Amino acid sequence: MKKNIAIIMGGHSSEREISLKSGNVVYNYLDKEKFSAYRIHIRKEKWVYVDAQEQEHAVDKNDFSVVLGKETIRFHCVFNAIHGSPGEDGLMQAYFELLGIPQTSCDFYQASLTFNKRDLLSVLKPYGIPAAASYYLNAGDPVDEEAIISKVGLPCFVKANKAGSSFGISKVYEKEALSAAIENAYKEDDEIIIEAFLDGIEVSVGVIKYQGETKVLPITEIVSENDFFDYEAKYQGKSKEVTPARITKEEANAVGDMAKKVYDILKMKGYTRSEFIFVDSVPYMLEMNTTPGLTTESILPQQAKVAGISLSELFESAITEALS
């Protein structure tokens, strides 16, 4: 019997449109001989199943079911394609755990931790995972520009602590631009992380559960046409992504081992994509994404392709792992 798979997409954050693209790619590539796939749009105001005719049908939040005529659809597994809240910050994971419905991403604690850049890097520090010098601010805190620059130097990056797709991030070269960058970050989140600029090669490392094993995918080098890997670079063609990365075998082994170590330390499940910058051949960790982009142009699917894994195989494996 075919398994009913709910593909959740959309969400509440600035990443909503990207998530819808990812979710539709999963829907299109999932093997219809093995799975009955349902596109579930998650919005603040409503949760709906969107059918092939783009008609909406309400989702019952009490048990995550959908009534179609006289039939009630219940799901064997949820494929999580929501970037940002509530799919990447632990909320949906906790909900499905309470309902006892398997889902393809990590558990709720890991999602909440990794979505918070400050907390993630703090937890990993005792394990020897290098990160840039940083300074933290919360909304309402006094801004001591001298203290910030003394801690992280210039240039530096001002980032929203809990946001993805490079929303709310600015590269600051001079003290006079710091205030505007902080205000920009606060548009996305009430917590900020300000980090020292690391001058080196940026790489992205995918780690997944595949056929029962933890697998490090071929590493991608990020070459941005812009000043850094911002939204335009990620989604509007202003970057070149080279897979496999043009780094030495020793560097590839070092960053691959580090990404896998972090995956294991955190007891991760599903897909992760972690970002690093090499400084003097040492990889410094920036962040980890637990529901990375899944469009055909996204980094993780690119890496899977180089590894000889098709999109259908990639998506089926995530469901198989969740059901196991």
Q: Please tell me the predicted confidence (pLDDT) of residue 134.
A: 97
| 159: DSSP letter | E
pLDDT in tens, 273-291: 999 999 999 999 999 999 9
Task: Say if residue 238's pLDDT is above 70.
Answer: no
Q: Please tell me the predicted confidence (pLDDT) of residue 277.
A: 97
Going by C-alpha positions, the residue among 66, 68, 85 that lies closest to residue 15 is 85
Cα separation, 201 vs 194, in Å, equals: 20
Confidence band for 168, pLDDT divided at 50, 70 and 90? confident
- More confident site: 251 or 236: 251
Confidence band for 141, pLDDT divided at 50, 70 and 90? very high
Q: Tell me if 39 sits within 8 A of 25, measured CB to CB.
A: no
Confidence band for 152, pLDDT divided at 50, 70 and 90? very high
Contacts of 140 (CB under 8 A, 6+ apart): none
Q: Please tell me the predicted confidence (pLDDT) of residue 147.
A: 97
**Residue 250 to residues 71, 129, 203, 208, 253, Cα–Cα distance (Å):** 57, 17, 14, 21, 5
pLDDT in tens, 65-118: 999 999 999 999 999 999 999 999 999 999 999 999 999 999 999 999 999 999
Question: Bridge-partner residues for 131, per DSSP?
Answer: none
Cα separation, 181 vs 183, in Å, equals: 5
Q: Please tell me the predicted confidence (pLDDT) of residue 233.
A: 46
291: Cα separation from own chain's centroid:
4
